[in-house]
């Protein structure tokens, strides 16, 4: 990727001058008759881009002179799963305030001015099991931008005034996080599938208020250490010089030993059917089933099965039946979670008009039963495999795609050959594998129902064998949702 260039101007001009209306072949009657040349493309290796720095951190680096810019991503081993009980929201506040709370060298206002002046894009985000930072800037500002990035990553001061301000803003967002149905469904689903576990705990006004500046300083010191992060960088620079520059950037806090261990999280669905009342014109529905933590030998078979059942858009069975045939929804999909930290789930998500709620659920359950009993066709399986493996050229387009993908790959402890082996693993799946995993994981008797909608309109409905009343359902208001264990 070092020598990437656009077509040189002269070559292009010659090519165009040679264009004329030459003899063309006839248009075939159907696209399936089109003949395509074999794509000469291989998954790029990650190894040439990987450097282990002296301080223990790993860097993926690519020199790329295509555009006058530099992109960086970093993955830090931490996440909201580790937020202390009663202080939920700590990791999210850490991410926000590292960016906005000023640094040792630059007070917050100066920092904002510098970042805006040079049009540096920088953000930090926190998820359940990962803290991520992303930055991009014009290459002419490389020195200044790296200085700012170093300050933000290693020398944040969490100014008290800014900490108070960001807390107020965070609390405002908490007050309005359930204004729309989708976030309610997500929160309710976590409560239903992981009762009593930290996965279902969300920040509250009280927990955010409990997070102090001191908490943020001590957490930052503990986790932002070179050995606890993997960095990816690509752009217009000299590779050797940049490697030295990054090594220098990562000298701060190098002696700390984070020892981050995520807590164990168990799937525990004591609420078989959880209905959150909100007067809406549609019901928002999620059907969930327990799955597993990766790496797991059944993951690839579940990926293929998922694509056939509901993960493949219009051509999946649920898309065809519930959306296209019946017109019951605008969106229905299934998802097999890829989770490396704790057991994930398989779920089907859709919304439908109140009056068609029971019918849509009933038809969805029938589709699950059908795939469990009868398996899939060769055509469906081949199509799903081809879709999954065919995405790879699109995933590895730029040098930054390569380095960030491999950095992320290493963060989750996967083999450096992961992407090379992927195609082989997917293509090795058989119909027998698919019916086996369908029977193992898609038992409709184990489905947990989570619904957000107008309780009165939904409880009365029956379609086929389905009615909410068949279950020991629990109804809660939006306000009391978070009081559930």
Partner 1 sequence: MKTYGFIFLLGLFSLAGAFDIKVPVYYDTCDNGLRIIIVPDTNVAVVSCRLYYFVGSMYEGPGTSGLSHMFEHMMFKGTKRLGTTSYENEKPIMKQIDSLANLVKYELLGGKAESDSSVVALRTELFSLLEKQRKYIKKDEIWELYQKNNGTHLNAWTSDDMTAYIVTLPRNKVDLFYWIESDRMKNPVLREFYSEREVVTEERRMRYENRPLQKYWERLNALFYVAHPYRIPTIGWMSDIRAYTREKMEKHVKQFYTPDNALIVLTGNVDTTKARKQIEKYFGSIPRALTPKEEVVTREPESFGVTRFTVHDNAKPRLDIMFHTPGYPNDDLYKLDIVEGIFSGRSGRLYRRLVDKEGLCTDIGASNYFRLHDGYFHIWAGLKSDTDPRVVEKIIIEEIEKIMSQPPEPKEIKRIINSIRMSFVNSLNSLEGLSDRLAWFERLNSWKDMPDYPQKVSSLKPEEIPDAAKKYLDVNKMTVGTLLPIKQPLDNNRKSKNSTTKQQEL
The burial of 40, by beta-carbon neighbours within 10 Å (0-12 exposed, 13-18 middle, 19 or more buried), is given as: exposed
Cβ neighbours of 333 (radius 10 Å): 19
Within residues 405-444, the interface with partner 1 by CB under 8 A covers: none
Q: Does 460 bind partner 1 (CB under 8 A)?
A: no
Of 96, 269, 329, 341, the residue at the interface with partner 1 (CB under 8 A) is 329
Are the beta carbons of 361 and 328 closer than 8 angstroms? no
> Contacting partner 1 (CB under 8 A), which of 2, 180, 263, 416?
180
Subset of 189-228 contacting partner 1 (CB under 8 A): none
Residue 261 lies near partner 1 (rule: CB under 8 A): no
22 is a contact residue toward partner 1 (CB under 8 A): yes
Provide φ and ψ at 466, rounded to 5°: -100, 130
Q: Is residue 15 part of the contact set for partner 1 (CB under 8 A)?
A: yes
Identify which of 364, 359, 363 has the alpha carbon closest to the alpha carbon of residue 348. 364
Which phi-psi region, left, alpha or beta, contains residue 413 (left: φ > 0; alpha: ψ -120 to 50)?
Answer: left
Q: Please answer whether residues 476 and 276 qualify as being in contact, where contact means their C-beta atoms are separated by less than 8 angstroms.
A: yes
Long-range contacts of 396-400 (CB under 8 A, 24+ apart): 396/43, 396/44, 398/64, 398/66, 398/234, 399/1, 399/4, 399/62, 399/63, 399/64, 399/66, 399/234, 399/235, 400/62, 400/64, 400/71, 400/73, 400/232, 400/234, 400/235
Q: Which is nearer to partner 1, 111 or 250 (CB)?
A: 111
Which residues between 355 and 384 bind partner 1 (CB under 8 A)?
383
* Shortest Å, Cβ 329 to partner 1: 5
- If one asks whether residue 34 binds partner 1 (CB under 8 A), the answer comes out as yes
The minimum distance between CB 380 and partner 1, in angstroms, equals: 10
Dihedral (CA of 155, 104, 235, 131) sign: positive
Interface residue with partner 1 among 4, 84, 263, 469 (CB under 8 A) is 4
Q: How far is the CB of 415 from partner 1 (least distance, A)?
A: 23
137 binds partner 1 (CB under 8 A): yes
Q: What share of the chain is helix, strand, coil (3-state, %, to 5)?
A: 45, 15, 35
113 binds partner 1 (CB under 8 A): yes
- How far is the C-alpha of 235 from the C-alpha of 71, rounded, in Å? 6
DSSP per residue, 218-285: HHHHHH--GGGEEEEEEESS-HHHHHHHHHHHTTTTTT------PPP---B---SEEEEE---SEEEE
Which span (15-23, 90-98, 211-219, 468-476) binds partner 1, by CB under 8 A? 15-23
Min separation Cβ 86 and partner 1, Å: 24
Q: Which of 160, 264, 331, 446 binds partner 1 (CB under 8 A)?
A: 331
Q: Which stretch binds partner 1 (CB under 8 A): 7-15, 248-256, 264-272, 469-477?
A: 7-15
Size of the site for partner 1 (CB under 8 A): 88
Assess 394 for contact with partner 1 (CB under 8 A).
yes
Report yes or no: 346 and 336 within 8 Å, Cβ to Cβ. yes
Query: Which residue lies nearer to partner 1 by CB, 351 or 419?
Result: 351
The reply to whether omega before 483 is within 30° of 0 (cis) is: no
Pairing of strands 345-353, 448-453: unpaired
Query: Is 118 a residue that touches partner 1 (CB under 8 A)?
Result: yes
Rounded least distance, CB 125 to partner 1, Å? 16
Task: Identify which of residues 39 and 483 has a Cβ nearer to partner 1 in the complex.
Answer: 39
Of residues 43-72, those binding partner 1 (CB under 8 A): 66-69
- The reply to whether 280 sits near partner 1 by the rule CB under 8 A is yes
By CB under 8 A, name the one of 65, 112, 204, 268 that touches partner 1. 112
Give me the least distance between CB of 62 and partner 1, in Å please.
12
* Least distance in angstroms from the C-beta of 14 to partner 1: 10
- State yes or no: residue 457 binds partner 1 (CB under 8 A): no
């Amino acid at each position: 990727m070092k020598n990437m260039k656009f077509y040189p101007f002269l070559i292009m001009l010659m090519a165009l001058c040679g264009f004329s209306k030459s003899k063309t072949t006839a248009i075939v009657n159907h696209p399936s008759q089109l003949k395509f040349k074999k794509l000469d493309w291989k998954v790029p290796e990650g190894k040439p881009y990987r450097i282990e720095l002296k301080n223990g951190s790993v860097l993926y680096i690519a020199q790329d002179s295509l555009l006058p810019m530099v992109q960086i991503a970093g993955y830090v081993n931490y996440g909201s799963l580790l937020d202390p009980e009663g202080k939920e929201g700590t990791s999210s506040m850490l991410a926000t305030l590292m960016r906005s709370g000023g640094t040792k060298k630059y007070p917050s206002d100066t920092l904002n001015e510098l970042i805006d002046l040079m049009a540096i894009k920088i953000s930090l985000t926190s998820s359940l099991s990962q803290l991520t930072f992303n930055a991009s800037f014009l290459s002419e500002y490389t020195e200044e931008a790296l200085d700012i990035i170093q300050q933000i990553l290693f020398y944040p001061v969490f100014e008290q005034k800014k900490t108070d301000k960001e807390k107020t803003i965070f609390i405002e967002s908490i007050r309005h996080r359930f204004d729309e149905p989708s976030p309610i469904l997500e929160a309710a689903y976590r409560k239903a599938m992981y009762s009593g576990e930290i996965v279902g705990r969300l920040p509250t006004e009280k927990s955010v208020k409990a997070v102090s500046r001191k908490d943020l300083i001590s957490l930052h010191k503990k986790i932002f250490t070179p050995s606890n992060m993997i960095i990816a960088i690509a752009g217009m620079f000299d590779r050797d010089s940049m490697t030295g520059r990054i090594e220098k950037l990562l000298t701060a806090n190098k002696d700390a030993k984070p020892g981050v261990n995520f807590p164990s999280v168990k799937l525990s669905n004591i609420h078989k059917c959880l209905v959150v009342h909100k007067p809406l014109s549609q019901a928002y529905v999620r059907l969930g089933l327990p799955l597993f933590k990766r790496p797991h030998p059944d993951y690839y078979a579940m990926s293929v099965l998922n694509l056939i059942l509901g993960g493949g858009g219009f051509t999946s069975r649920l898309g065809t039946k519930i959306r296209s045939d019946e017109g019951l929804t605008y969106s229905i999909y299934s998802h097999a979670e890829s989770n490396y930290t704790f057991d994930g789930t398989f779920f089907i998500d859709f919304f439908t008009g109140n009056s068609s709620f029971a019918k849509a659920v009933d038809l969805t359950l029938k589709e699950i039963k059908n795939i469990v009993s009868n398996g899939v066709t060769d055509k469906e399986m081949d199509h799903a495999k081809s879709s999954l493996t065919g995405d790879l050229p699109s995933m590895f387009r730029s040098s930054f795609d390569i380095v960030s993908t491999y950095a992320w790959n290493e963060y989750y402890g996967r083999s450096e050959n992961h992407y090379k082996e992927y195609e082989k693993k997917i293509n090795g799946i058989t119909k027998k594998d698919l019916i086996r995993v369908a029977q193992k994981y898609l038992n409709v008797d184990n489905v947990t129902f989570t619904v957000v909608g107008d309780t009165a309109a939904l409880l009365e409905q029956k379609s086929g064998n389905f009615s909410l009343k068949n279950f020991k359902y629990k109804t809660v208001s939006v306000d009391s949702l978070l009081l559930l264990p």
